[in-house]
Amino acid sequence: MISYKIHLLRCGSAAQSSGQMYVGQLDLPLSADGQAEIEQLRGSGGYPQVDRLYMSPLLRCEQTAKLLYPGCGVQVVDGLADASLGEFEGKSLDELKDKPEFVAWLQNSQESPPPGGERVEDFTARISSAFDGIVREMMRERVQSAAVIVGGGVLMTLMATLALPRLQMHEWTVAPGHGYTLLTSAQRWMHGGRAEAFAMLPAQEE
């Protein structure tokens, strides 16, 4: 039975013009510190070689992918973009804290999406469908290992949706440049869409 390894990795930290702001699909590059951090992590040698590389369409994911896997051809998967935050994109807490729609979103994001933004269930369905397309392509073309570079919210949501063991979204939090190796088979994926969280990345030396 053929096993498929998918290395799901969080992109590096994005540059922000003035303090902390809410960033979803706002297409920011890596910050200088974020780039340096990814380069340092790559120097550790803890990232496995892969047969194929996939990424979110956002610039910070593209830059991370090129730093971690230089020279590796990459496929952009539009459906893996971060959630759209609508009118909250690029705004700071100070700018938003007095807006009732922002307070409602913080209290219950499931029921109160950002104005002009994406509902949680729509975001989850979109990225799950995109990831399923990757796995099915790997199976169809007998690609046994791939890296997938995404934003932190995408990574945590995918892990909470499809990974075994089943954990809450916040329990899958990882630092920039880190992630998980998922292991699945055609039988497991086609009958339940599940993958085992096999290891953390980058791998640590014993």
Residues 6+ apart with CB under 8 A from 125: none
CB 30 within 8 A of CB 12: yes
Half-sphere exposure of 68 (CA within 13 A, CB side): 37
| pTM assigned to the model | 0.95
pLDDT in tens, 71-111: 898 999 999 999 999 999 999 999 999 999 999 999 999 99
The position carrying tokens 């990882």 is: 174
Interval 32-41 mean pLDDT: 96
Percent of the chain whose pLDDT exceeds 90:
91
The DSSP secondary-structure symbol of 59 reads H
DSSP helix/strand/coil, 199: strand
Sign of the C-alpha dihedral computed for residues 112, 118, 121 and 122 taken in this order: positive
How many other C-beta atoms are found inside a 10 Å radius of the C-beta of residue 42?
A: 17
Let me know if domain 3-82+119-201 sits in CATH 1.20.120.530.
no
